[in-house]
Structure 1
Amino acid sequence: MSGCTHRHLLVVGAQRCGTTYLATALDAHPDVAMARPSPPEPKVFCDAELSTRGAEWYDRTWFAHATDEDLLGDKSTSYLEDPRAPARAAAMLGEPHVVVLLRDPVRRAVSHWRLSTAHGIETRGLEEALLADLGDDQPWDRRRSSVSPFAYLRRGRYAEQLVPWTTAFPATTHVLFLEELLADPAVLPALVGDLGLDPARTPPPAAGPVNASAGDRPDLDAGVSEALAGYFRESNADLAARLRRPLPW
């Protein structure tokens, strides 16, 4: 890495919301260097000890490949769920740009279930697994995952997860919706401009999400659909009010 001064970007989640797609698109911009290797995700600010190692260690460890890029980007989807991460990031990086990418929480939950199933972590059917998350936290192997692989629904309560980030970085937190990112080609250049970079230098992104899973909204039992709608109703309304814009789902 050269001796020039870099700014920092955190793509903090949410999981299964197209963050890999977004990170890949940003990495293609000549003024952005995303962390490598990826995978794994850095997840530095989910770890109390790693968070104390300083910006020099952070840049050297995850951005050794960077040269004269203006913005160094860290995509770690666990950050959004960790209320301690914003303060740790502020202590090390000052005021980074923070990007949050969200999607329909039911589609996100189904995609999450498919991922846990594909990795052999989940053995229950879709509806059983989703409804189980309406109850108490379910135990999981913390050696395999930094966050619960069974929090299918609670991870979609975006409004409460956003508060620590918008409180810590009110001027530099950017919230996007995957549905709009995929449908509107102007969304990505607008974000690039908000990050202080030249939108005209943004290469066109790939046709769709990198880690997409098929059938993220299969037919659900009417009772299950009603239960999920009720579960997310208050959170969705809170999110729309906080963002002062309608939700695209």
Structure 2
Amino acid sequence: MTDHSSRHALVIGAQRCGTTYLATALDAHPQVTLARPARPEPKVFCDEALAARGAEWYRRTWFAHARDERVLVDKSTSYLEDPQAPARAAAVLGDPHVVVLLRDPVQRAVSHWRFSTGHGLETRDLETALRADLVEEQPWDPDRTSVSPFAYLRRGRYADHLAPWLATFGADVHVVLLEDLLADPAVLGGLLEALGVDPALAPPPEPGPVNASEGERPVLGEAFLGTLQEYFEHSNEALAAQLGRRLPW
């Protein structure tokens, strides 16, 4: 039976930023449990009609397995770029913890292209696909995917996507950078402590690499890499200002 004194947490990191890796590490903690089934992701707060069903339906549907865990985690990468999702989540959950996992946006874009290609959604080569997204938003079929499989660069403008979450939840938003998470075990411990659970009870997380099954990594040409870094320059500066720290990329 679900303990209604538990606090909810949303893991809303951008797609291809290691959110499954982080959610698995959180779920391994005895005081934390992940929504089940984990796939497909709940995506409740991307849908006004589903969110309107309320907290009891939400808990009964996604956390029927929970017992006395302190933190109930919903991992849905689609939440980050939906500007209406924060208000819906606040209406249903009150004051959840919000965990945002981010990654070098250029590396994320490459990983995203590999994912779309591997799932038969993308047929263009890497540079052609990324250049198309530089020009305009690409058409996509919402019946096949919940978010665009071609938003390789737009999805990496993290500061824009993060703003509504910071405005709604403020200090309850915990931003984690994948590069830091993989380099320093203390980052996961600090996050667990921020979520209100004992870091000492956490088993060691699985070692990387994240998304290791993606196959051979394509290489971007120096000139085009410079174009992408310029594209993200303003967004990265805004993100650094939001976080009050320098970025590791």
TMscore range, shorter length = over 0.9
**Equivalence for 1:195:** 195
Q: Which moved more, 1:39-48 or 1:222-231?
A: 222-231
Paired with 2:79 and 2:209, the residues of 1 have a C-alpha distance of 20
Paired with 2:247 and 2:77, the residues of 1 have a C-alpha distance of 21
For residues 103-148 of structure 1, what are the alpha-carbon distances to aligned partners after superposition, in whole Å with 9 as ceiling and x for unaligned? 1001100000000000101000000001110011111111011111
Aligned: 1:24 with 2:24: yes
Count of aligned positions: 248
Identity of aligned residues (%): 68
Say which SS state the counterpart of residue 171 (structure 2) adopts: coil
* Paired amino acid for 1:152: Y
Cα distance, 1:184 vs. partner? 0.3
**Equivalence for 1:165:** 165
Q: CA RMSD in A?
A: 1.2
Paired with 1:210 and 1:59, the residues of 2 have a C-alpha distance of 30
Paired with 1:215 and 1:32, the residues of 2 have a C-alpha distance of 35
Say which SS state the counterpart of residue 100 (structure 1) adopts: strand
In the superposition, the TM-score normalised over structure 1's length comes to: 0.97
Paired with 1:80 and 1:215, the residues of 2 have a C-alpha distance of 28
**Equivalence for 1:156:** 156
Aligned: 1:6 with 2:6: yes
Aligned: 1:104 with 2:83: no
**Equivalence for 1:75:** 75
Say which SS state the counterpart of residue 142 (structure 1) adopts: coil
Cα distance, 1:76 vs. partner? 0.1
Cα distance, 1:2 vs. partner? 3.8
- Aligned residues of 1:21 and 1:209 also touching (Cα < 8 A): no
* Paired amino acid for 1:219: V
Query: What runs of 5+ residues in structure 2 fail to find an aligned partner?
Result: none
**Equivalence for 2:145:** 145
Q: Which moved more, 1:84-93 or 1:219-228?
A: 219-228
**Equivalence for 2:179:** 179
Q: How does 1:117-128 map to 2 (within 5 A)?
A: 117-128=117-128
**Equivalence for 1:88:** 88
* Paired amino acid for 2:174: H
- Aligned residues of 2:2 and 2:63 also touching (Cα < 8 A): no
Structure with the higher helix share, 1 or 2:
2
- Aligned residues of 1:20 and 1:209 also touching (Cα < 8 A): no
Paired with 1:172 and 1:47, the residues of 2 have a C-alpha distance of 22
- Aligned residues of 2:2 and 2:64 also touching (Cα < 8 A): no
**Equivalence for 2:230:** 230
In structure 2, relative to structure 1, the CA distance for the partners of 1:75 and 1:107 (3 Å cut) is same
* Paired amino acid for 1:153: L
Say which SS state the counterpart of residue 11 (structure 2) adopts: strand
Aligned: 1:243 with 2:243: yes
* Paired amino acid for 2:222: A
Cα distance, 1:169 vs. partner? 0.3
Say which SS state the counterpart of residue 232 (structure 1) adopts: helix
In structure 2, relative to structure 1, the CA distance for the partners of 1:108 and 1:3 (3 Å cut) is closer
